Structure 1
Amino acid sequence: MTSRHIRVLDHAITKAECKMAKSQGPLVVVAERTPLLEAQVESDHAPKPSQDEVLLKNKSQKGIWLLFPLIIGVFIANADTSLVLATYTTISSDFSSLGNSSWLLTAYMLSMCSIQPLYGKLSNIFGRKALLLFAYILFGIGNLVCGMAPSMSVAIAGRFIAGAGGAGMSSVVSYLIADLLPIREVAAYRSYVNIVATVGRSCGGPLGGKLTEMIGWRWTFLCQAPPTMMAILLVSYFIPSTAPATSNTHGNLRQQIRRIDFLGSLLLCKTIILFLLPITMGGNQIPWDHPSIWALFAGAMISGVVFVLVESKWAVEPVFPLPLLRRWDIVAPYSCCCKTWHKPLYMIYSIPLYFQITANSSPSVSGYYLVPAVMGNTIGGLWTAAHIKRTGLFKGPTNLAAIVAGLCHALIVIRWNGSTGVFEACYAFLGGLGTGASHSSTFIAVTAATSEEELAIAGGGLYLCGGLGSVLGVAAADSTLRVVFKHELVRRLGKSQFTTGIIHHLLKDIKYLQELPEVIKVAAVASYLKGFKCDFGLALVCCMISLVLGLLMENKRLPL
């Protein structure tokens, strides 16, 4: 035994000191009343630490060396999303299936949202590291299937598989960070992950477009294999396997599989898919009043009721314990997260379209108007992390995020009147600032409210709420814009076959706007402008709801 294995205290050992000593590895704490011989015997018979224990004890594995293997996957997953957004029409055109192009996006989103909550419970059973590696493998397989797809249906199936992997590549990273770092440090490292995710989303589109032009769309998927493999190797070597102390991750595979709530998992996935399908299809592929829309909603409701019965009465280890939803310290961050994710998707959808219509900007140029929002998102996340680390309080940033984002949307409603200058375009910075702050603070709120066993499960619910907010945000923005635009243009031009034809063409292709006579073009732009104002007005309402929910959250100070 060397001196670094023994800590001598000149006073009685407190519970806090014991806890601190244990967290620093296999140390022997010696106080005035501690027999030295007993310490020596315990040391001699101490089992040799495993590789995971060495990694957990070694402080050099934390910091950037912990973060680097994890952020590679986060970057790839987020770049992939915007990459496909830039190439999906090219892919579908290659298969002569342009009408089904949106399914390349929808399949990924449905898979990601439905699988997301399962990663929490499964990581408790099998360990975080195993689930993260599984997510990487699924993501890689999905991209290989897409890259070698002989038909559109196979490409869509590949996107569904990739979505199942992408769901874990972000969420399990958050659980690992929460396991390995003190709670006040978690916000800081989450903000770094958020920056990488934002950079990935920003780079994916231009990169995908360039690769498609140079070497073809198939290589945009196949080129993701090397960095995915590198992420697998780095995580395997550098990241320790963590799980709650109450979870038997070292049991045999049969015991672990028996703990999986297969029926509950299936019902949860089914409920989410049946709920999201009509939201993504309604108003675009199928009219909202079509019987299929209401049949899908009814199916989601029935499946949800059965899920609640199974989880509350028969499940031994529920995939999502329903009592969590009876706790306000969990429900409030969930609701804030859902409303928060409404706002950035409103901006991503609406701002480029606004400048394409009012300023005749090209899609690539209009995308630059999102740069202030990206910068705000980064600064908001970093500021929140620094505030939480210094004060231990997360309620303030949550409320401030809602106020700042609300101010952004209010300014846009008032000041964006069709001739928007550079300064006014920077209002989007405030929206990004609020979003970045809220992303960090809501996760910390859930982390502070849950035990080690509950963290990943509750975190999976938080990520699900974020996914639902994203889908609902885009659907609400699109539907509001369409409905208001139709109503306004009919009011200005009168109800006729001519007006109906113009509406039909404009909703299919915005470039048609430049082919219209000047008088009709002015009326169409004014009608779109009214739709945009209603869009951002709805986003302002979401901010107000977030503020009310944030004010009702408990203002708990995090431990050092």
Structure 2
Amino acid sequence: MSQARPSQEHGDNPETQPGAPHLESQLDNEKTDDNNELPDTTAAYPPTRRTIAIMIPLFLTSFLIALDRLIIGVAVPSITDQFHSLGDVGWYGSAYLLTSCSFMMVGGKLYTLFNPKWVYLASLIVFELGSAVCGGAPNSKSLIVGRAIAGLGQACLLQGAIIIIVYVVPLHKRPQLMGLIGMVFGIACAIGPLVGGAFTSGPGWRWCFWINLPCGGIVFALLILFLQIPSKMLERKPETYREKVKRIDLLGATFLPSSVVCLLLALQWGGLEYSWSNFRVVIPLVFSGLLFIMFTIVQKWRGDAALLPSHIFRNRTVLAGAWFSFFSGATLQTLLFYLPIWFQAIKGSSPIRSGILILPMVIGIVVSSLSTGILTKKLGYYTQWLILSSVLTPIGAGLISTITPSTPGGTLIGYQALAGLGIGFGAQQPSVAAQTALPRKDVAIGASLMMFCQVLGGAVFICVGNNIFQSALVSNLASVAGIDLISVAKVGATDLRDMVPAELLPNVLVAYNAALRDLFYLVTGLACVMIFGALAVEWKSVKDKSKRQTQKKDPQALADADGTEAAGEKA
């Protein structure tokens, strides 16, 4: 190992640093292949120490994003007490979700037109601004505005980490880093309610948002110092900003977010605040469909300059990965949202304790996500993990749908762990598949599409699930004599025992459990259809693509890289 050539990834020779004249000259002399992909040689990427300095802030941002999704749930009671805003509770989550989901594809397009480093940092500033507005909000409306701003920034940060990894490490090493991102995300999901409870009980709920400011400052400083993306690694872009703006596809960037907003608003209101036949629900649904049709027409008209170019979406692996991501995200987010409600309502757990009780599922996700990252790096293939995920997840979700108030704790742990393992096996694989199936210049849009489908699936089916749960609960409670249906159906899960007379509580819990089981049947169905996407993904190896690119440009570099890899494995 001590005789490794200076251009190897672990070398510290300054000539191998990104942006160094030697590397720029080398990349300048390279001719890209048919996919506009530069050779995947180790000389094109930063050395290990710089890579670590880049990955730490990316991990930290992923942690903050996951934390920001869940931390507010525990803080809501304190927020509503201070602002007297119980009617606004739904918007604290919805405002964040609407902007995040709506502008995710727009963010992917920005990453293809501008330097990913500056797009990521600009998104971080927007996210931090939203957090600052939330932390200092004088009233409920200000808090909702802050959540919308934070969601807008988060829309570009989620896929940004994956996109930056493309320019930091070779393809065959990316699955392991993406597995680590999945692990960080899972840990944040696990401790989110605990951190939220600690802040709410201690310095106050505003620290649930202010915590993002110092952490974001650290991320900003580290990326400014260490992240350098050589210009030759980027697609050749127009010279002026005016030309770049023309390529953003402003029509597509208007129609798609508008369609998503209308859809989510209709699902948020339909069957709960208003009947499905009410014009406030029908009109958003109609507009959502019309706007999506207009978006599709614009994409065909714009061709390769579209927000979602047709040649990307027609790619078999990308289309299959998008399908898998949509239903996998729907399964994951619906379980994470409603399992704590089951523990709070049926077992009488506090919000913080319910967060602890779903740890078996979160740990399962973390373990399998990290394991698949490591194994994919060694084996090269990722399709088998998608298939395994689509087999284990329906089994775990189906077992969860059988739980009752008397189900033993050990059984609950096993069911959750199995579902978590299944979800984790497939969590990061669609993004890996997109990176393997697409040239570097299209990876930003491909990764954004996977993330968009994952988040949209959760957003849609959390709303659909809420409708199923509320309808089933009202129907089930109708058979319990002496119960105020409307009051019990709308009361929070933690307040259920305070509102229901002790002699009626067992029957009410049975009705509540049956309604949640109907919801878990839906989750099981969502998990079952993941298999269609998993089976359609092509069997391609990340190692094969890396070696083909390297051999085409520099056969000797391939031999050297293989020797270095083998030496590293022995060490």
TM-score (normalizing by structure 2): 0.84
Partner residue, 1:421:
408
Partner secondary structure for residue 180 of structure 1: coil
Equivalent-residue separation in structure 2 for 1:508 and 1:91 (angstroms)? 17
8 Å CA contact retained: 2:180, 2:373 = no
Q: Is 1:304 paired with 2:288?
A: no
- Cα distance in 2 for partners of 1:182, 1:225 equals 32
Between the aligned partners of 1:97 and 1:243, the Cα distance in structure 2 is 50
Alignment match of 1:536 (pick from 514, 517, 520): 520
What fraction of aligned residue pairs are identical, expressed as a percent?
22
* 2-structure distance, mates of 1:424, 1:325: 42
CA distance in 2, matches of 1:128, 1:80: 23
Structure 1 residues 59-105: Cα deviation after superposition (integer angstroms, max 9, x where no partner): 22455333112112111222122222222342243223221122121
2:344 — aligned with what? 356
Residue matched to 2:532? 548
Does 2:127 align with 1:132? no
For 1:395, the aligned partner's letter is T
Deviations 1:130-189 (A, max 9, x none): 111011100111112222223322221111111111122221101111232222211110
1:15-414 equivalences in 2 (<5 Å): 25=23, 57-61=45-49, 63-241=51-229, 245=233, 247-248=235-236, 251-314=239-302, 317-414=305-402
Distance across 1 between alignment mates of 2:360 and 2:7: 53
RMSD (Å), alpha carbons: 2.9
Contact 1:143/1:224 (8 A) holds in 2: yes
Contact 1:372 1:428 in 2 (8 A): yes
Question: In the superposition, relative to structure 1, how do residues 532 and 95 fare at CA in structure 2: closer, same or farther (>3 Å)?
Answer: closer
Which 10-residue stretch deviates more, 291-300 or 320-329?
320-329
Flag the 1:508–1:517 CA change in 2: closer, same or farther, 3 A: closer
1:55 positional shift: 10
Measured against aligned partners, the alpha-carbon deviations of 1:183-231 in whole angstroms (never above 9, x if no partner) come to 2211110111111122223333322332233333334323321111111
Contact kept, 8 Å, 1:128 with 1:243, in 2: the verdict is no
Alignment of 1:471 with 2:459, yes or no, is yes
- Residue-by-residue CA offset, 1:390-413 (whole Å, 9 max, x unaligned): 221111100111111112122223
Q: How many angstroms does 1:303 deviate by?
A: 1.1
CA distance in 1, matches of 2:232, 2:424: 29
Q: Shift of residue 54 of structure 1?
A: 12
The equivalent of 2:551 in structure 1 is none
Partners of 2:95 and 2:145 within 8 A in 1? yes
The one-letter amino acid of 2:408's match is G
CA contact (8 A) 2:325 2:453 kept: yes
- Letter of the 2:271 counterpart: G
Change (3 A) 1:399 1:222: same
Further displaced range: 397-406 or 356-365:
356-365
Question: Are 2:190 and 2:356, in contact at CA under 8 Å, matched by a contact in 1?
Answer: no
Gaps of 5+ in 1: 8-23, 30-38, 43-52
One-letter code aligned to 2:496: Y
Deviations 1:461-491 (A, max 9, x none): 111101111112322332222222222232x
Higher RCO (C-alpha 8 Å, min separation 6): 2
Aligned-pair distance for 1:442?
A: 1.5
Q: Which amino acid aligns with 2:370?
A: L
In structure 2, what residue type is equivalent to 1:469? G
Aligned residues: 515
**Cα separation, partners in 2 of 1:356 and 1:393, compared to 1, 3 Å:** same
* Secondary structure class of the residue paired with 1:417: coil
Instruction: Work out the CA distance in 2 between the residues paired with 1:443 and 1:58.
Output: 22
User: Aligned equivalents of 1:504 and 1:68: distance in 2?
Assistant: 48
Bigger drift between 204-213 and 127-136 goes to: 204-213
